[in-house]
A and B are shown apart, each in its own frame.
Chain A
Amino acid sequence: MLKTGRMSPRDVLRTGASGLRTRPLRVFLSALGIAIGIAAMIGVVGISTSSHAELQRTLDRLGTNLLTAAPGQTFTGAEAKLPKSTVDMVRRIGPVESAASTGDVDGYVYRNDRIPPAETGSINVKAADLGLLATTGTQLARGSWLNKATARYPAVVLGTGAADRLGIGSIESDTRVWLGGTWFTLVGILDKSALAPELDDSALVGWGAAERILGFDGHPTKIYTRTVESAVEEVRDVLAATANPQAPTEVKVSRPSDALAAKNATDKAFTGLMLGLGAVALLVGGVGVANTMVISVLERRAEIGLRRSLGARRNQIRTQFLVESQLLAGLGGIGGVLLGIAVTAAYALSQGWPVSVPVWAIAGGFGATLSIGALAGLYPAVRASQLPPTEALGAA
């Protein structure tokens, strides 16, 4: 008989929110603590996923089906040599789509013939197959690539780093470089090569020109090959034996896209550290909410007494303060998630990356704030509910 109806969920929320409405600044400041923690964590996760998405996009664009083979060293420690026919042999492997090679050439490159020979600028001169750009997926920044005609004449294409080092930014019809004691006409400059970064510091000349003018022996020193995507592993297994049947163990085979992915993975430790810092910020934010709630309960003893006099049960008082605490933390959570997404978006866009914030991070971050709110509010809420009504009313 002595029983009242249950409060509707809406009334529970309204009552829980009532304490927040009258103290907006305090609500803002305590929610801010939580928001900073959540934003830091979402930001770290978001930036890391965005950079991963960027890597994935890069790999999708570049392909993961490029394999390289290099002669390596003989077991006596001397530089091994690949046979001149290597590229043709590699092309004959079934799933291989294309193959190209470069060969190291002795010789140095200078801006002009008056530079002292000691200032080599560490640019490597290489003979290049005409199919090199297509196979490695390297783009031209300016000018043109070698063709059948220019490959036999003193014409050169510079990698982007090599051009920088020589101080060459543009190509005029008479731009020349002093290469191996001869003037070579500059026909093109390459873009940065993601999968064949060794080309960046190279001066590339035609195979014929290298043999005819620079005394190149014609042995390739690096083979680049594209294979059918699904057969990369199989080709990898046979590439060494095909490239150099006489000494397959000397051949070094690698997959440049693996190196690219590995470089990205080294950021993991840093991500962990930042996540830890975010967690600490969140903890501090939680302590801030607990503090706010304790003060709130102390200040609102009269309100608690009044509510008891209006018929509030102890557990309804407890629920009110728990809900208030969770709303407080939840507000911080929403703010933090939005802030974290904004930080991620700003950073990713400034880097030209795709923006990617995983849903699990958003849900997890928000869920964490609700738990923090419950935890931070538990003690104050229990204290509020145990306050004797007369004492609470007398406090006013």
Chain B
Amino acid sequence: MRFRLIYNHKNLSKPILAEAILKTKVLINILEAKVTPTAGEIMVDVPVEGEKLREVIRFFEDAGVTVKEVAQILEIDMGRCMGCGACVSPCPTQALKLTKDWEIEFDEKKCVRCMICVDACPVKAIKFT
């Protein structure tokens, strides 16, 4: 599952993410980071579920980091999508697939936000929101 970690000026300089990984032994994957001198936002993927996931979230919250779940980030406008597949093979993580009926299918968990599909789509049906 994907989260936005929002740091403030107090906890920004602490190695919270590294500690979280060491402590919980969960391989948290950084997808995107925006850091300014006074605040920071890191987009991460936490590849666990249930109790383990709650443990990770609790760890960040205890350290003063605000944790927000990121729902859908990539949107395919199905009205525009032609089901052509031009976005499928260039996707480096196979997050986009064609079904047996040649419909497009998106697996949120695999997406690394590389944006390759956005450019590859000939009818601009893919957007990040």
The reply to whether chain A is a binding partner of chain B is: no
> A-side interface residues toward B, CB under 8 Å?
none
